[in-house]
Amino acid sequence: MDERLEIRHKVLVEGVSKREMLRRTGMHWKTLEKILTDSVSPGYQRTAPIVQPKIGPYLGKIQEILTSDKQMVRKQRHTAKKIWEELQKAGFTGKYTIVKDAVRALKKQSKEVFMPLLHRSGEAQMDFGEALVKMGGALRKVHFLAMVLPHSDAFFVMAFERECTETFWEGHVRAFEFFGGGPVEVAGMLWGLAAPAGGRA
């Protein structure tokens, strides 16, 4: 298991104290707080925007053109070359490639949509899947039930010969045993389930 996930599991699921975890790992308390707050490592974060001396002063103008183009028929919209020509009239001395790259980046930016995900403690998600496994030297298809507790990133996977109601419930029982208790709610992706654990699907 990834060290980050293991630390989250020990503190958030098993109940190991933060003080004890700091003693075991020797890490700084701020590092531990980051691990417990973010389920995924944030990685490298740029602290200052990239300096773009040539195109930078004209990005606002490009964005204006792209925004007004949304009201136009597709054939009447500005191409990157047309935008470059407009910028040249306004004093831009850079090459066409810089403008083309800026237009592509701004268009891509405007398409991005971010949806915050909130995983409350006590929620679980489950689904069935299929995989090819080698058993006795031969490949065969098996079905597996996967259950995850997104808040703590703890997960459980169990393989079955087939996917049916019996394996559905067997998988849940085994998962609850593995986690040391049942979640408040299980959201099933495949089954369209959103019922309290132990309730009716």
Closest C-alpha among 99, 108, 54, 55 to residue 78: 99
Q: Which two tokens stand for residue 65?
A: 């053109």
Q: What six digits make up the tokens of 88?
A: 């040249």
What are the residue boundaries of the structural domains of the chain, listed by start?
3-37, 56-111, 123-196
Q: How far apart, in whole angstroms, are the C-alpha atoms of residue 179 and residue 158?
A: 13
**Site of tokens 């606002």:** 60
Q: What is the pLDDT of residue 200?
A: 37
pTM for this model (two decimals): 0.38
pLDDT along the chain (201 residues), means of 10: 80 89 88 82 66 86 91 89 93 92 86 69 87 86 90 89 90 92 72 41 36
Please tell me the predicted confidence (pLDDT) of residue 42: 62
Cβ proximity of 127 and 112 under 8 Å = no
pLDDT for position 81: 93
**C-alpha span between 128 and 158 (Å, rounded):** 10
Question: So what's the pLDDT on residue 45?
Answer: 65
pLDDT of residue 9: 86
pLDDT of residue 102: 92
Confirm if 13 and 179 have CB atoms less than 8 A apart.
yes
Helices (H), the chain: 3-8, 18-25, 29-37, 59-69, 80-89, 96-111, 165-179
